[in-house]
Amino acid sequence: MNVNNIENINKENSNNCKSNKNSKSDKNNKKIMLTGDRPTGKLHLGHYVGSIRQRLEIQNSGEMDEVFIMLADAQALTDNFDNPEKVASSVIECTLDYLACGIDPDKAHIFIQSQIRELHELTIYYMNLVTVSRVQRNPTVKTEIKLRGFNNNIPVGFFTYPISQASDITAFKATIVPVGEDQEPMIEQTREIVRSFNRTYNCDVLVEPEIYLPPNGACLRLPGIDGQAKMSKSLGNAIYLSDSEEELKKKVMSMYTDPLHIRVEDPGKIEGNIVFTYLEAFSNDEDFEKFLPEYKNLDELKEHYQRGGLGDVKVKKFLLKVLNQMLEPIRERRSYYENHLDEVIKILEDGTRAAQKVAGETLKEVKRAMKINYFEEWNK
């Protein structure tokens, strides 16, 4: 389907909605994307391949009725409550990264979670639909608790993360949520809450979302440059979207490879070799034609490395060129917005205002379904 046809369909849908504003089926048939990040620092390559690249594709497809991108500062505070300054400064840093990557404020609403009070009220209501044991079984919660070393000292706010995330998604009636693989259990828990709410109150107010995962398996969870399973700010093994060319070079050249590949002539292993994992995620045939023409594609490079006769430095230098080519325009756009912070703040204000309007309407529908819209009923 081409863009013109999509636009025509959207116009028809828009006209239908105008003629029947109270139609639930019209509202629930809208295509809406919601996604976001916890602002605890600058964004890195793991964020980019895990979600941001997909957001850009969806944003620019013309197929969405609305796009919402959330700065989940309230969630970031659950394990940074003693350092709110870190979260506050990261709100701007993440927004700069979004805009630098190509998130378009004319096509997407970038908003701040904590400023949408409706989300917190929805969380309270949803808590009555979820058991403690169900949250404890959530694989993502288990992993994050272990990663942060909480043990039995888990902040309640952090523990209820899956429920508040369900509030974020359902408040905007999101139909598509582009996230990394680690968020799949969260989306499933959101679906459970949607089904439970609609069944309990005999309504169709909430919408079940679909997860949108990267099609490339190497992008599902990008490992850190040290070979750890996940690239993470807290582990100090990340390449940031804002890294300078010199910082990028230093990190790429220090990347974990095959520890047994000592001499160039030795056969090398691809499995667990982070350099090749990154090439899977970021390179294409055109990159080989431009930067390494003696190979047609990644398969040929892999075959030579496994056969022996190809050094790690040469492979790393190729990866460096591939990554730098991608990051250079991102750095340039980020520099522009760093020097125009008034524009950035206006974008956040406008996006938050638009998000609050939508979340407010959903909350009204939720309270009507629950029969707790007292004054609305009493004043009829």
* Domain extent at residue 330: 245-336
CA–CA dist 66, 71 (Å, integer): 17
Phi-psi region of 92 (alpha: psi -120 to 50; beta: other; left: phi over 0): alpha
Residue showing tokens 């707790």: 372
Q: Are residues 185 and 260 in the same domain?
A: no
Phi-psi region of 227 (alpha: psi -120 to 50; beta: other; left: phi over 0): left
**253 CB-contact burial (10 Å; exposed 0-12 / middle 13-18 / buried 19+):** middle
Q: Are residues 205 and 278 in the same domain?
A: no
Domain CATH for 57: 3.40.50.620
Can you give the chain as a three-state secondary structure string?
CCHHHHHHHHHHHHHHHHHCCCCHHHHHCCCEEEEEECCCCCCEHHHHHHHHHHHHHHHHHCCCCEEEEEECHHHHHHHCCCCHHHHHHHHHHHHHHHHHHCCCCCCCEEEEHHHCHHHHHHHHHHHCCCCHHHHHCCHHHHHHHHHHCCCCCCCHHHHCHHHHHHHHHHHCCCCEEECCHHHHHHHHHHHHHHHHHHHHCCCCCCCCCEEECCCCHHHCCCCCCCCCCCCCCCCCCCCECCCCHHHHHHHHHCCCCCCCCCCCCCCCCCCCCHHHHHHHHHCCHHHHHHHCCCCCCHHHHHHHHHHCCCCHHHHHHHHHHHHHHHHHHHHHHHHHHHCCHHHHHHHHHHHHHHHHHHHHHHHHHHHHHHCCCHHHHHCC
Q: Are residues 98 and 179 in the same domain?
A: yes
* Number of Cβ atoms within 10 Å of the Cβ of 217: 12
- Does position 18 have pLDDT exceeding 90, yes or no? no
Domain CATH for 315: 1.10.240.10
Q: Are residues 194 and 51 in the same domain?
A: yes
- What is the tally of structural domains in the chain? 2
Q: Are residues 82 and 180 in the same domain?
A: yes
Q: Are residues 146 and 60 in the same domain?
A: yes
- Does position 68 have pLDDT exceeding 50, yes or no? yes
Q: State pLDDT tens for residues 132-167.
A: 999 988 888 888 788 777 777 888 888 898 999 999
CA–CA dist 135, 145 (Å, integer): 12
Q: State pLDDT tens for residues 198-232.
A: 999 999 999 999 998 877 666 667 899 998 777 88
Q: Is residue 13 part of a domain?
A: no
- Does position 113 have pLDDT exceeding 70, yes or no? yes
Q: State pLDDT tens for residues 230-283.
A: 788 778 899 999 999 999 999 999 999 999 999 999 999 999 999 999 999 999
Q: Are residues 331 and 359 in the same domain?
A: no
